[in-house]
Amino acid sequence: MNATAPTIPRTDEHLLRPGNTNCGGCGMSIGLTMLDRALTDAAETCSLVIPACCGIVTAGAFPTTSYGVPTIATTFASSPAVASGVAAIRDLNEEPGQVICWAGDGGTYDIGMGTLSAAAERNENIIYICYDNEIYGNTGGQRSSATPARARTTTTPWGKTQDKKDIMTIMAGHRIPYAATLSIAHPEDFAHKLATALALKGMRFLLLHSPCPTGWKSEPADSVKLVRLAVGSGLFPLYEVFDGATYRINVEPDGTDPAEYFQCQRRFDAEEIDLRATRRACADRIQRLQALATQYPADG
């Protein structure tokens, strides 16, 4: 008997159903809704693989679920390995559909890094989306290696002293077919990158900046504004890397002062932040990407 991957044809069901328990203004909810739209527009089927994180709490209590597609809950560290197996069965049976890992930053930057790196090195045929809320949100807001410097978390009450890990460079270093950053403040760019990812095969890594009003101590209504400020200031650039070799910047920073981003979140003490150093770091980040995009431009 052939094992079958748990993909089903899309119905008029949404990927994220109404009535879930996510906090108001949660970037992950908006990201899932935008992912749903991209899949529907591309008439794609999918199954989700989700490790321990807010994204699996979203599903709710058995036998009900907030997900309208087949969803596998995995242990914290194993979602890329589980997704690799599901995708291998799908491909063996020549079935259609995408296997999509939907994982938090803790499961991606930290505890799942080993299985993620292994799946990337094998160029597994999966889409991996990290919704990066820059903390372990589900367990009370502890720091992760995605937490930016100076952010106060429950385990860094005086502000984190280390910088955010540059996971895009790590993933590009695996020379996977596609790595890109996403923002819920730029829906057309989001849709374009999902369409690009869906058209490719192999390991595709997408990093979504995902506001978390609960952990960021921000107003739920400010979520989209916040991540727009992050793109505009160069704190979270929007770009693509193909095969770890060629680069494209999708939205140029607009001169926003990063101070505006910090001021809207009580996880930062504005007086503690060295704004001159932060502005310089943003400029350096963009200049480095511009140099790569000029020297090694992506086609088209």
Applying CB under 6 A, the residues found at the interface with ligand SF4 are 22-23, 26, 28, 54, 133, 137-138, 212-215
Q: Which does 214 bind (CB under 5 to 8 A by kind): ligand SF4, ligand TPP, Mg ion, none?
A: ligand SF4
Nearest-approach distance from CB 100 to ligand TPP, in angstroms? 16
Site string for ligand TPP, 111-150 (x = CB under 6 A): ----------------------x-xxxxx----x------
Tokens 């996510």, residue located: 22
**Among 52, 119, 127, 230, which residue interacts with ligand TPP (rule: CB under 6 A)?**
52
3-state secondary structure of 34: helix
Q: Which does 23 bind (CB under 5 to 8 A by kind): Mg ion, ligand SF4, ligand TPP, none?
A: ligand SF4
Q: Which does 26 bind (CB under 5 to 8 A by kind): ligand TPP, ligand SF4, Mg ion, none?
A: ligand SF4
Q: What are phi and psi of 253, to 5 degrees?
A: -55, 150
* DSSP conformation class of 142: B
* Residue whose CB is nearest to ligand TPP in the complex, by number: 104
Q: What are phi and psi of 289, to 5 degrees?
A: -65, -40
C-beta closer to ligand TPP: residue 56 or 292 = 56
Enumerate the β-bridge partners of residue 131. Answer: 104, 208
Q: Is position 21 an interface residue for ligand TPP (rule: CB under 6 A)?
A: no
C-beta closer to ligand SF4: residue 47 or 138 = 138
Nearest-approach distance from CB 148 to Mg ion, in angstroms? 13
Q: How far apart are CA 212 and CA 264, in angstroms?
A: 12
Token duo for residue 229: 């400020």
Cβ atoms within 10 Å of 281's Cβ, excluding its own: 16
> Of 17, 19, 42, 21, which Cα lies nearest the Cα of 32?
17
Nearest-approach distance from CB 102 to ligand SF4, in angstroms? 12
C-beta closer to Mg ion: residue 104 or 213 = 104
Q: Which does 52 bind (CB under 5 to 8 A by kind): ligand SF4, Mg ion, ligand TPP, none?
A: ligand TPP
Q: Is position 67 an interface residue for ligand TPP (rule: CB under 6 A)?
A: no
Cβ atoms within 10 Å of 31's Cβ, excluding its own: 25
Q: How far apart are CA 83 and CA 111, in angstroms?
A: 16
Nearest-approach distance from CB 215 to ligand SF4, in angstroms? 5
* DSSP conformation class of 133: -
C-beta closer to ligand TPP: residue 32 or 38 = 32
Kind plus residue range of the DSSP H or E element containing 100: strand 98-104
3-state secondary structure of 53: coil
Q: How many Cα atoms within 13 Å fall on the side-chain side of residue 154? A: 10
- Site residues for ligand TPP per CB under 6 A: 52-55, 76, 104-107, 133, 135-139, 144
